[in-house]
Structure 1
Amino acid sequence: MKGKSNHAMEDCLVSEFKVVDDNELGLFAIFDGHMGHDVAKYLQGHLFDNILKQSDFWTDTLGKGGSTAVTAILINGHKLVVANVGDSRAVICRKGAAKQLSVDHEPSKERQLIESKGGFVSNIPGDVPRVDGQLAVARAFGDKSLKRHLSSEPDIAVEIIDDDVEFIILASDGLWKVMSNQEAVESIRSIKDSHSAASV
């Protein structure tokens, strides 16, 4: 769902089921584009072609923009594999309690890595920490001008899905800036339809 930003929608999503080698896969992802949606659109079309491992192949060929990503692959309804780059987040609801499965890649948390690559983290009063004074995340895809100082290495988590897990929320940072994980879970827990829950 689009927020109230003053620029065109730059986010993309994937939500589909497919059968691969006798395994039923649920494929879900949110891509939060910035400075244009080219990278987010590219990731949307190539997500499950090993793109997380081959990002250097295409990063230099796209425009100046970039994207964060949070992905979830549900394998046979039992095993959930979550990978993220940036500050889009995956949260599951287990017996009413929120559990974050992804890692927010904030510049202040990864300052040492950024500085080891020759970059810097600005911390201007009234603003959030930014890589080289520009980007508010320490990891992203694309961003050609900052590529030397950023990482596109995903964090990966595996969760076994049992009867205690009620649902998963995938969302970009726009949601998490205004709601805690638990608030997000409680706001939709009573809604059974996923499309209705997404529009709350």
Structure 2
Amino acid sequence: MTGKEILQKMKVKVGLGTSVPETGKGKGKTSKHITHGFHLMKGKSAHPMEDYLVSEFKKDKDKELGLFAIFDGHLGHDVASYLQNHLFQNILKQNDFWTETEIAVKRAYLETDEKILEQSLVLGRGGSTAVTAILIDGQKLVIANVGDSRAVVCENGKARQLSIDHEPSKEKKYIERRGGFVSNLPGDVPRVDGQLAVARAFGDKSLKMHLSSEPDVVVQDVDQHIEFLILASDGIWKVMSNQEAVDSIRQIKDAQAAAERLIEEAVSKKSKDDISCIVVKFQ
């Protein structure tokens, strides 16, 4: 057996699957007025697609859960693929998820990162950002993120960001306390150790001493004022403001059509990155 074949068998063993289809939609079974749609588009870079996502409903005990996530990989797609297969599983198996939700989600993120680092021989030296949303019985959103993929809700027509962009310039003191530095070269974005343009991420073993994988977590009630949720990778947010994204799809009732439109708008504004997005419509 060749080295390449051995590596492939190891990848299968740790649960690296193929990417999701490029587009799709669905709706809740008990919350039938809630629909979701997703769309992905490969960017202009030479490397393979590095974005992965989850967009589905499932039953957990007596609860209906909407599970939505964007994973934006870098230096390879294997870490993002691993997250697609394992992160929600690790979150929901936390014993205190229903009682101490924010603590449980943070712990699951950190434990997942530890597992990724342990398997760096298989998963490679790359990493991934993540933004996740768990919709509980159509009434409560649990948002968590590391990196610069973003969660935005439309509330009475106004965009409101629920996630936090983890930019190196904002976390410079933390990075320097851990022995790293933030470069700020002319014509480039700030980077951790001159390499990574986000201050928090899964994986990235060579930089992990200077990076955090602890997520910010927000719990948001879904009332009659929340119209829809957007989760998207930075291929959208580099070229569109939160309000521009909301305005571009507010009048589109079909969630999948809205997700496709959002990516079309980003491409028309010269986005060259891989792009993935999920739209969850509440009304």
What is the TM-score of this pair, normalised by structure 1?
A: 0.97
2:44 aligned residue: 5
Structure 1 residue 58 displacement after superposition: 2.4
Q: Say if 1:98 and 1:185, in contact at 8 Å, map to a contact too.
A: yes
2:189 aligned residue: 128
Structure 1 distance, partners of 2:43, 2:65, is: 33
Any idea what the Cα deviations from partners look like across 1:135-188, whole Å, max 9, x if unmatched? Answer: 000000001110111000000011100111111000011100100000000000
Aligned match for 1:47, one of 69, 87, 101:
87
Does 2:110 match 1:110? no
RMSD over aligned CA atoms reads 1.0
Aligned residues: 200
Unaligned runs of 5+ in 1: none
Does 2:124 match 1:57? no
Structure 1 residue 60 displacement after superposition: 3.5
Q: Say if 1:60 and 1:142, in contact at 8 Å, map to a contact too.
A: no
Structure 2 distance, partners of 1:183, 1:139, is: 26
2:5 aligned residue: none
Q: Say if 1:83 and 1:155, in contact at 8 Å, map to a contact too.
A: yes
Structure 1 distance, partners of 2:254, 2:109, is: 30
Does 2:126 match 1:87? no
Query: SS at 1:12's partner residue?
Result: strand
- Percent identical pairs in the alignment equals 69
Aligned residue type for 2:44? S
1:75 aligned residue: 136
Structure 1 residue 53 displacement after superposition: 3.3
Structure 2 distance, partners of 1:171, 1:3, is: 14
Structure 1 or 2: more helix by fraction: 2
Aligned match for 2:238, one of 162, 177, 184:
177
Structure 2 distance, partners of 1:31, 1:58, is: 14
Q: Which segments of structure 1 move beyond 3 Å, counting only runs of 4 or more?
A: none
* Greater displacement, 53-62 / 133-142: 53-62
Q: Which structure has the larger Rg over C-alpha atoms? A: 2
Q: Say if 1:23 and 1:75, in contact at 8 Å, map to a contact too.
A: yes
What is the TM-score of this pair, normalised by structure 2?
A: 0.69
